[in-house]
Amino acid sequence: MASDGAALRSVLTPEGVPIEVELADLGARAGAVLIDLLIIFVALFAAVLFVVLVTPATGALGFALFVILSFFLRCPFFMAFELRWRGQTPGKRVFKLRVADRRGGALSPGAVAARNLTREIEVFMPATLLLIKPSDLGGSDLDNVLALAALIWFGIFTLLPIFNRDRLRIGDMIGGTWVVYAEPVALLKDLSTKPPLRRYRFTPAELDVYGIAELQVLERLLRQPATRGTLDTRKDVLNRILDKIDWGDRDGVDGESFLTDYYAALREHLERHALFGDRRADKHEAARRRDRSTLEHP
Amino acid sequence: MPDDLLKSYRFRQEREGKWRELEALIARAERHGLKSLDAEELARAPALYRACMSSLSVARSISLDANLLAYLESLSLRAYFVVYGVRANLGQVLARFFRRDFPVAVRRTGWSNALAAGLLLAGVATGWAVTAKEPAWFEAFVSTAMAQGRTPDATRQELAETIFDKPKAADQMTAFATFLFTHNARIGMLCFALGAAFGVPVVLLLFYNGLAIGAICAVFDGKDLTVEFLAWLAIHGTTELTAIVLCGGAGLHLGGAMINPTRRTRLAALRAKGRTATILVVGAVVMLFVAALLEGLGRQLITDTTTRMAVGCTMLVLWLAYFTLGGRSVPMGPRHGQ
């Protein structure tokens, strides 16, 4: 879930446990809105066809039906879905996004209403302005300038998420919400094995060279499916580790089990140190700690 | 010898069963809703959720398995969404909204609403006075589309026809009413959303609308049709303009949060005041629906000036009574999202 450069935020649940949420990427949010708008557009189109071809309603009544439908297919569309689907719309479901309360509380119906009432100025007004032909405005230069000014003005609202840290729309600000990823992560098998099964053993000095960051890079590498690229990278990493710890018998090493065993040993080593308050974030910190401990216990 | 195992490995072995159980429940609840869980599963869910939360806390301190941590983070988050997602019992929410939330919100934002009403009335007064003295200003205040022939140049006969037009066919009235409703509801939402821009657009919008109304009033006044026109306006206008004032009040309320957030940050102030403002706008949209019915149907069917005035005044009294008295006896419900 936590990919590189991800915007992580911590939310305190009512149980008092902070959970990490990852803010939705702006591209994903734009994509979700586009999908929703597409659905709305298709639904409106279908509604027009239905009114014209199937119902006996003609003229004014048909128009009334269309007007009321097109009203409910705007902001209320988003509200209804976010209420029924726990903070998701069809578009958000595709991108695995979810609306959540910024303070970690329950998402209230009021917050959902607030964040969607503002879509009028963020989505629909600019969209309408973009669709206007200059000739509809009477074609005078002043009208065009006014339309452009309005577009810029509404554009500020539309683009607001770009300009703040938490990627909030104006509706999110008023509703007290934000949009986060809610992607299921599968639990894979534990890579560490019992010591008796290990072929290779390592001294503390050989394990002191790396920190948590390197451990988790190694984990990711071991979990990747064994394509040729992965195998090449593994060979590369193996050589680097062998260099780093000055492994004696380089040619007799079985790469796969060496990496697995080194991972298990390193994890055990780092977890034990972490338990005693010595959490080594990466190899630089590991090196510093190592130096200090040799100073203290020569 | 269990001591040979990694502490984090044993931790996972001991708890994995419960995680998998919770995961299955959550997956089902996500797909088919909480209702798809039977009574026994529902009873187990909170315990599993808490167990998962505590696993997450423990895992953070003892395990360096990135996949395990990511899994527990995501499982906790998904469970959290199921447990703390919107619990919308629509009937209950609606009942509480009209019995308590809406009138209470109107009272709580009293000053903003008064200011919005003042701005609208100031617009009306200005528009009326200016147009009465200098009819040429009419065009500046009222667009041609909105005037629909109700200009200072129209004769008394023409003006009278616009307010006593023959009843239209039923479907035309419906079309008219729906159009008015959607149009006004969008204006109301606009007022709300623009409030965050320090309230300035809301002030302009209210005053400008007031100007147009005042200008048209002046036109009818000039031809001695004042009472007839006011009655024509009042039958729906008391409801519609009250709703517009409330939307404006909501916008000004939000604007207030931006201008003077007191000791909070602007974001926190916006959030706190946004709750009340949202209630105002949602209530106002419902009022606009009533107004559209009165305008589209009532005004076409009732052509008698006295009756029109009576209906309009009755509606106003009813709304004001609702706002001043409503929700006083209903106890505070549970507060969401704190």
Looking at the structure, do residues B8 and B135 belong to the same domain, yes or no?
A: no
Check whether B292 has a pLDDT greater than 60: yes
Phi, psi values for residue A10, rounded to 5°: -105, 130
B24 and B139 assigned to the same domain: no
Contacts of B78 in chain A (CB under 8 A): 182, 184
Chain B: closest CA distance from residue A21 (Å) = 8
Residue B332 lies in a domain: no
Number of domains in chain B: 2
B152 with B111, same domain? yes
Q: Are residue B138 and residue B200 in the same domain, yes or no?
A: yes
Do B230 and B126 reside in the same domain of the chain?
yes
In a domain, residue B338? The reply is no
Task: Return the residue of B nearest to A265 by Cα.
Answer: B6
Could A191 and B65 be called an inter-chain contact, meaning their C-beta atoms sit closer than 8 Å? yes
Query: Averaging pLDDT over each range in A48-52, A82-86, B81-85, B240-244, which range is the top one?
Result: B240-244
B252 plus B110 within the same structural domain: yes
Return the number of CB contacts < 8 Å for A and B.
223
Report pLDDT for B338: 33
Same domain for B186 and B261, yes or no, is yes
On whether residue B227 sits in a domain, the answer given is: yes
Mind telling me how many Å the CA of B123 is from chain A's nearest CA? 23
| B112 shares its domain with B34 | no
Residue B334 domain-assigned (yes or no): no
B58 burial (CB, 10 Å; 0-12 / 13-18 / 19+) is middle
Shortest CB distance from A19 goes to which of B61, B77, B194? Answer: B77
Under 8 Å CB-to-CB from A35, ≥6 apart: which residues?
A: A90, A91, A94
Q: How far is A34 from chain B (nearest CA, A)?
A: 21
CA–CA separation, A106 vs A84, rounded Å? Answer: 14
Residue-range definition of the domain harbouring residue B46: 2-84
Looking at residue B129, its pLDDT comes to 93
- Which residue, B84, B104, B120, sits at the end of a domain? B84
pLDDT at A89: 93
**In which residue are the tokens 């609403």 written?**
B113
Q: Let me know if residue B91 belongs to a domain.
A: no
Let me know whether B129 and B259 are in one domain: yes
Q: DSSP letter at B34?
A: G
Residues B135 and B50 in one domain: no
Residue A168: its chain B contacts at CB < 8 A? 267
B149 in the same domain as B14: no
Q: Give the ipTM.
A: 0.78
Tokens, residue B77: 């988050």
Give residue-wise pLDDT tens across range A238-282: 888 888 888 777 777 787 888 888 888 888 888 888 888 788 888
B253 vs B153, more confident: B253
- Interchain pair A173, B271: CB under 8 A: yes
Mean pLDDT for the stretch of residues B124-138: 90
d(CA B258, CA B264): 10
Query: What percentage of chain B reaches a pLDDT higher than 90?
Result: 21
Evaluate whether residue B300 is within a structural domain.
yes
Looking at the domain assignment, is residue B202 inside a domain? Answer: yes
B59 and B110 belong to one structural domain = no
Q: A296 pLDDT exceeds 60? A: no
Q: Which of A63, A82, A121 sits opposite B193 (nearest CB)?
A: A121
Ranges A181-190, A212-221, A250-259, B191-200, most confident:
A212-221
pLDDT digits (tens, 9 = 90+) for A134-144: 555 555 666 67
- Could you tell me which residue, B125 or B66, shows the higher pLDDT? B125
